[in-house]
Structure 1
Amino acid sequence: SDQSVFTSWCWMYAWWRTFKEDDFELFLVACREGERLVAILPFYIAHRPFLKLLSLRTLYFLGYKGSGEAGYRAEYLDFVCSSRDAQTLRAPLMQYLLSGAGAGAGAGAGVDEIILSDVPATELHGSVLTALKKQGAAYIRETARDQTYRIGLATGYEAFLSGLGKGTRARIKGSEKRMASESTFAVNGCLREDPEVLLKPIKELHALRWNNQKSFGAYKKFLDALLRFDDERDIELGGVRLEYNGEVMAATLNVSFRGVVYNVMLGFKEVPVKRVSPGLLALSLDIQSCSVQSELACYDLLAGSGKRTDYKSKIASKGPELVSHQILLRWLPRMVYSLYDWLQKIKKGA
């Protein structure tokens, strides 16, 4: 597969080993052409509360958690196959999945709904779902749409800066200049560091900025497992730490996989120096560090936006859009959600 780290075997296996719960059922479908494995449908089944007293048997991608203790968010989720095979396999695989679920036998027996979360929104993906809607085999709802952002590394850091807007470039250059004039500032690269070393400062920064007191213990366990199961040695952890007077002001955590750096975590707090943007500065220093590594081609900021400003759109180009769909198969949830959507539409039109 030429897909992302989130559909790699080591990520999915580490995620399952770390975040599965007792009632989760692993659900994998393999597709072969002769003796060649051409696709895998990487799912699991869990129960989701519905109408207080009921529950739905729901099919989720490995890497996404719909309830309970939060997992480590994964993006670019999809069937596992090459882009060449996806053109011919996506539609029949989805049909196979739905026909089994709807009939109560075969591939998706006993499943009430399918959640396709954070899937790259391609024309092919949209056409498959449109065809399924026309067939009436399920009630399909779009539940979320997110924009990813990417930065090319091949042309170097100066090319990255020159491509920014005037105001953003001035903020970065000004922050770098003011940081350089203060002897109490320090930048530490964290390539191939232990997960705990990378997570500890981000945990503290998140607690201050987001009032987030949750434990990062599961995240450390996941990253430990990710490295342990990486038999091909495709994955590296890294990041930068921006320090002032020996205290961490900003930190990043990256997962590198086959030439792509995924910025999976960023934390920062206010710096007691005027006109220094710690989060933006940490990211720019991280990008600068990655741009000199010839094996790295792309810095992926993933989806989402900042707490106050959409900083990603200011420093990066748009990547694939991610779309999430809920596919309802049984008559009761189909009726309930179609009625809810109809009422919401009436409400908006009022």
Structure 2
Amino acid sequence: MSLFQTKAWQDAWWEMWGETPGFSLVHPGEGGVSGLYLDRYRMYGCLPVRCLQFVGTNYRRVSTPRTEYNTAFPSVSDQASDVIRRLTSEAWTEAVFRDVREDAQDLPILEGLAETQGWITRTVAKDTAYSVDTKGLFQDYLAGLGSNTRLKLYNRRKVLESLGDVKLENAWPDRSDEFFGLLNRFHRVRWGRDCFNEKSLRFHQRFLEMVVGESGVPELSLLICDGQVISVVYNVCYKGCVYNLQSGYLENFHRKIALGTLHLGYCIETAFGNPALTMFDMLAGTGKNDNYKTRIATQHVELRSVMVVKGPLLKILYRLKGRAG
């Protein structure tokens, strides 16, 4: 069970976006699986679609914070059979299961079910999630990195410390508004837009308030140099794993310092130093200029987003689309 299947994440997401016209909850997330809901709309303004999706995701109509490691099937076989019965009886025309682990049971179950039912399956996206195994020693981890990566992640601390007093602080809970304000400000400079809009900010605040009740530990990390916050990293610890959800930093701070990578190094070292933690998960996604995660990670998992098409008209449409492509 990942952070994204907690009641905190699932319920906070549905509180924010569940009232979207056309949305209706089919099954709430519980027992380590993602919830399911139907999104009713008209494709191209005319073709009616009933799209079954994971709570936390939306394929076409709504943009929300990304929800990864989704799963529909519990490990207990009789409960998994209940989900299969729901899939075969629910009146949906297409289903989109986003960011499912390639090594999970979901994909073979879905593909096998589609074959027996005469449904079409399509892969609509692929991605890779990266993580660091933190069960060993931090110095051993550093020794296994490339020299340039080690320089950015750790060795440039000496340069930073020469500029003033350096410290790390957790902005949760009293300074969370300041933290997210800085995150948005740093993103506006780097990307030309906020990291989180007003609704997404409410979602994250609500999620953080609730995840504490499930033994989650928010870590809104502030990297401070000479009294100035120069970088922020949004982490949440849950069931032995640190989930690195977002980050932002002061652009063009120093020509020798890659602030984002350096701050990650501090956070990864902290995870190594906590015996209750076994992984630092950087999730999917890449940086602005290159995929820095490939050089920092010690392991990765492939994610796949799959569409299952049941409606007769949609099956014809997607078959024609496939031939045209």
TM-score, structure 1 as length reference: 0.83
Residues 1:328 and 2:317 aligned together: no
Measure, in 2, the Cα distance between the counterparts of 1:341 and 1:289.
Answer: 48
1:124-175 deviation digits (Å, cap 9, x = unpaired): 3343234234335211100111111111222232222122122211233442
Deviates more, 1:199-208 or 1:19-28: 19-28
What residue number does 1:19 align with?
A: 17
Residues 149 and 300 of structure 1 are in contact (CA less than 8 Å); yes or no, is this contact kept in structure 2?
Answer: yes
**Matching residue within 146, 161, 169 for 1:165:** 146
Query: Shift in Å at residue 67 of structure 1?
Result: 4.1
Partners of 1:69 and 1:204 in 2: CA distance: 23
Q: Contact 2:73 / 2:79 at 8 angstroms: preserved in 1?
A: no
Q: 2:58 aligns with which of 65, 75, 79?
A: 65
Aligned counterparts, 1:309-348, within 5 A: 309-344=290-325
Q: How does 1:135-154 map to 2 (within 5 A)?
A: 135=116, 137-154=118-135
| CA displacement 1:33-73 (0-9 Å, x = unmatched) | xxxx9786620111244133333111110111234442221
Moved more, 149-158 or 21-30: 21-30
Structure 2: runs of 5+ lacking an equivalent? none
Contact 1:240 1:253 in 2 (8 A): yes
**3-state SS, counterpart of residue 75 of structure 1:** coil
Partner letter of residue 44 of structure 1? Y
Larger mean CA deviation between 201-210 and 62-71 belongs to: 62-71
1:78 alignment partner in structure 2:
71
Distance in 2 (CA, whole Å) between partners of 1:17 and 1:29 is 12
Question: Number of residue pairs matched?
Answer: 323
2:88 aligned with 1:99, yes or no?
yes
Question: Aligned equivalents of 1:93 and 1:256: distance in 2?
Answer: 31
CA-to-partner distance for each residue in 1:283-308, whole Å, 9 max, x for gaps? 11111223222222211000111111
Which of residues 39, 48, 67 is equivalent to 1:46? Answer: 39
**Structure 1 residues 285 and 229, CA gap change in structure 2 (3 angstroms):** closer
Amino acid at match of 1:24: F
- Report the Cα distance in structure 2 between the residues aligned to 1:248 and 1:149, rounded to whole angstroms: 27
Q: Which amino acid aligns with 2:15?
A: R
Which moves more between the two structures, 227-236 or 66-75? Answer: 227-236
Q: CA deviation at 1:239?
A: 3.4
Separation (CA, whole Å) in 2 of partners of 1:214 and 1:265? 9
Aligned 8 A contact 1:141 1:327 in 2: yes
Q: Distance in 1 between matches of 2:209 and 2:290?
A: 37
Cα offset, 1:196, TM superposition: 1.9
Letter in 1 for 2:40: H
Paired with 1:265 and 1:41, the residues of 2 have a C-alpha distance of 22
1:196/1:220 contact within 8 Å kept: no
Distance 2:127 2:2 in 1: 17
Instruction: Indicate the residue corresponding to 1:263 in structure 2.
Output: 244
Distance 1:220 1:206 in 2: 14
* Alignment match, 2:4: 6
Kept in 1, the 8 Å contact 2:102–2:302? The answer is yes
1:33 alignment partner in structure 2 = none
1:155 pairs with 2:136: yes
Provide the rounded CA distance (Å) in 1 between the counterparts of 2:229 and 2:28. Answer: 46
Residue type at the aligned position of 1:329: K
With over 3 angstroms needed to count, the CA separation of the structure-2 counterparts of 1:271 and 1:157, relative to structure 1, is farther
Residue 110 of structure 2 corresponds to: 129
CA distance in 1, matches of 2:148, 2:244: 23
Contact 1:7 1:80 in 2 (8 A): no
Instruction: Kindly provide the amino acid, as one letter, of the partner of residue 96 in structure 1.
Output: R
Label 1:173 to 1:262 Cα distance change in 2 as closer, same or farther (>3 A).
closer
| 2:36 counterpart SS class | strand
Distance 1:74 1:126, change over 3 A: closer
Query: Structure 1: which 5+ runs fail to align?
Result: 31-36, 101-107, 345-350
Aligned-pair distance for 1:341? Answer: 1.4
Cα deviation for residue 213 of structure 1 reads: 3.9
1:72 is aligned with what amino acid?
Answer: P
Q: Does the 8 Å CA contact 1:249/1:268 hold for their aligned counterparts?
A: yes
